[in-house]
Every structure is written in structure tokens, then in C-alpha cells.
Amino acid sequence: MEFKLFKVSGYEEAIMSLRMSKGKYYSWGNALDIQRLVYAVTDQQGFIASEEEYSAKMEILGGAPGKLTGDYETDVAEFERLLQLTFKAAMEDKHHTLMKYIDISFFTEGLHRGAQDDLDAHAIAFNNRITRFSTRLAEIDNVKLSEWYQDKVIPIYEVMKRLGVLENHLPAEVFMGHNETKFILTPFGYVLEKFAQVPAKNGLAKDVQRGLMPLGIASNALWKIDFFNLRYVYSMRSKLTKANPELKLGMEQLADQIELLVPVFGSYFRKVFTDSGHWEHVNKVRTITSEQYQQIKPVLGHS
């Protein structure tokens, strides 16, 4: 099972959003300059580009148009300076809308369907930008459990197959119901004969067979969400929550990649800026009443 950070976008919109709110820093020319800067210093995934990638992009731009200097370190530093101003307003001053301009897309590979459902519970945060491996559209010929389940449960069909029960004791077909309807044995269970081809080739047969597929089946998906809402989803599914164990592992994988690869904002992905002026893990912050605050003010040194 693996969570893979795929792409980060929207830096220039986040930067220009801050400039727009202050008015005097906006102009169409400045917007184009920032767009060119972001293009030059980031790679196709939205991470900081290598010096070689930067040089290749400068050739495409025809030199150093606008406010680009042509010097890799100088232009990267300017990008990070602008992003730092945006970061301060967004995460310290709590102008959260700025974070919503930054989009994060990632893949989940081998996550079991039950954990997908737990992550999908926050579909509104993703603005429904979720596409999952479909048990209705894909051709599936066996039950492959996610890694987390593989040493914890065994589907009954696998046990019976290993013990030779299928060949020796379990009938290949059974007749059930008032009309003695014929059902065929499949890797998922018994299925009405006309829907029993494995892997299923038509939509209706797939619809029928998926009814026997377990929540532990490994699955893949593509997800896209803005930075602000991803921090919220993380706070609900991190290792410090009561979320599904495999999902918690995946969310921490994703958080590690964001911290490493997303400039400026990434280092604080797991954290919130408290009223006491400190950064703290989002799951370690507690809300207190005004009366409780009055009691601890002397300890905090607040007047």
C-alpha cells in the first residue's frame, strides 16, 4: 500500500490572491511575471526544479523575460520569498482562503476499499475530485487483499482452495430457491449461472459479482484537494486519530512527502499556529473555555 504525491499547482494564484487583497501590488504585468517565475523554478509536479530543468525552461522562455534574472538560486529565492509572504498571511494570520488556491493531487495504490470509504467520507473537502478503481468497470478474477489485511485474514475461498475442499467437497454448482435456480462457484462465492463468467465481461455480471467482494480488497484511486482542506482531512485521519490503521499509515506517508517536496507550506502541513504564537501538531491542540484560559494565564505569562 502506498500514497504517492503526484502534483502541486496554484502557487501563482495563491501569491496573486494576497497581492490582489492589498490592491497596490496587483497588475496584469506582475501576474504574468509571477506566472513565468513559477513556471521556471518548479518542475512538472510542482516541486522545486533542478538547475538543469530551470535552464531548459529559461531557453523555452527565450532568456530572462520580465523580472526573471536568469540565475537559478536568485529566482528560486524570489519564488520562496513571495510564497513565504503568502504563507504568513495564510497560516499565521489565518487568511485561510489563500491556501485554497493551492491544489494537491495524489494516488493511493493498494489501499483496501473500506479505508477508501473512510477517506471518501470527506468527499466534500475534495470537491468530489475522486476517481476510484471500479469493481463495476474493471475485470477482476480473484480477491487480492491489501497489504494490511494479508497477514490478518484469509478469504474463505482461499482456505478451501488450499485445503483441496473445492475440488473434493464443494460442488461446482448448486441449485437454490423455489425454481431450483443454478448458481456457479466463483472465486467470490456462488453466482447465478448467467452472471458467473470470471472475469466478468459485461456490466451486469460485474454488478452482480461485486456484491461478493470484501471491503479488504486492494484498490487504487486518484484524489485532488486544496491545501487547506487536505490539512483538515489529515487532522481527521492522522496516526493520532482513531481512523483505520492502513489509512493512517497512508496519510502519514503523504504528509511526509508534502513536508519534503512542497516549498514553504510543506514544512508546516501537520501544524497549526496557536494563539500563544507557537506551532503545534494539529492533533495536539486543545480548545479551552475562557474561564480555563483565565486560570492558566499566569502560567503562560499572559497579561
Three cell numbers written together for 189: 462465492
Three cell numbers written together for 178: 423455489
Q: Which of 112, 108, 110, 130 is closest to 121 using CA atoms? A: 130
Residue-wise pLDDT tens digits, 132-178: 999 888 889 888 999 999 999 998 888 888 888 776 778 889 999 88
Residue 22: pLDDT above 80? no
pTM tops 0.85, yes or no: yes
Domain ranges of the chain: 2-109+220-269, 156-213, 274-303
Residue 248: pLDDT above 80? yes
Residue-wise pLDDT tens digits, 169-228: 788 899 998 889 999 999 889 999 999 999 998 889 999 999 999 999 999 999 999 999
Between 289 and 250, the higher pLDDT residue: 250
Residue-wise pLDDT tens digits, 265-300: 999 999 999 988 899 999 999 888 989 888 888 887
